[in-house]
Amino acid sequence: MKVRYKKLDERATEPSYGTEYSAGADLYSLDGPVTIDAHKTLLIHTGIAVEIPEGYCGLIFARSGMATKRGLAPANKVGVIDADYRGEVMVALHNHTDALVTVEAGERIAQLAIVPFLKAEYECADELSDTVRGIGGFGSTGTK
């Protein structure tokens, strides 16, 4: 699958896969160095826009190394890029640590996965089908 992207700034870095089997393409910080205060969120620019194909969406996930080693992860946990969005891809990075963390220009800050989705047609109903779980909420399926 080809996904078109546009550089909105000449300093922007093209999304790239770390290995042949990587599910997500790395996204790179445009600006830097930028410092994120402890327990704060900062919007990081990538300097690119993408053209997600119809029937797909772009999902922005944390980079596992950045999250576990440096405490930085997307504030919204998973960002969603709709197929009709053509603006700049930005990542709201949250600093989960008690210290300042600096992000350098050109640093890998998140990963983008292109994923198919089903468009649901929601229908209001007076009743829903019965299941064993029923209306049991959080933790209702056991502690194992």
Starting at the edge strand found earlier in the chain, the sheet holding 41-51 runs 4-7, 41-51, 88-95, 72-74
Write the pLDDT tens digit of every residue in 74-87: 999 999 999 999 99
Q: Which domains does the chain have, with CATH numbers?
A: 4-116 (2.70.40.10)
Predicted confidence pLDDT, tens digits, the chain (144 residues): 999 999 999 999 999 999 999 999 999 999 999 999 999 999 999 999 999 999 999 999 999 999 999 999 999 999 999 999 999 999 999 999 999 999 999 999 999 999 999 999 999 999 999 988 888 777 777 666
Burial 68-85 (b: 16+ CB within 10 A, else e): eebbbbbbeeebebebee
Closest CA to 50 of 19, 8, 17: 8
CB atoms within 10 A of CB 51: 14
List Cβ neighbours of 124 (8 Å cut-off, separation of 6 or more): none
How far apart, in whole angstroms, are the C-alpha atoms of residue 52 and residue 132?
39
List Cβ neighbours of 72 (8 Å cut-off, separation of 6 or more): 36, 62, 66, 93, 94, 95, 96, 101, 103, 109
How far apart, in whole angstroms, are the C-alpha atoms of residue 110 and residue 72?
9
Q: Are 114 and 5 in contact (CB under 8 A)?
A: no
CB atoms within 10 A of CB 114: 19
How far apart, in whole angstroms, are the C-alpha atoms of residue 42 and residue 19?
28
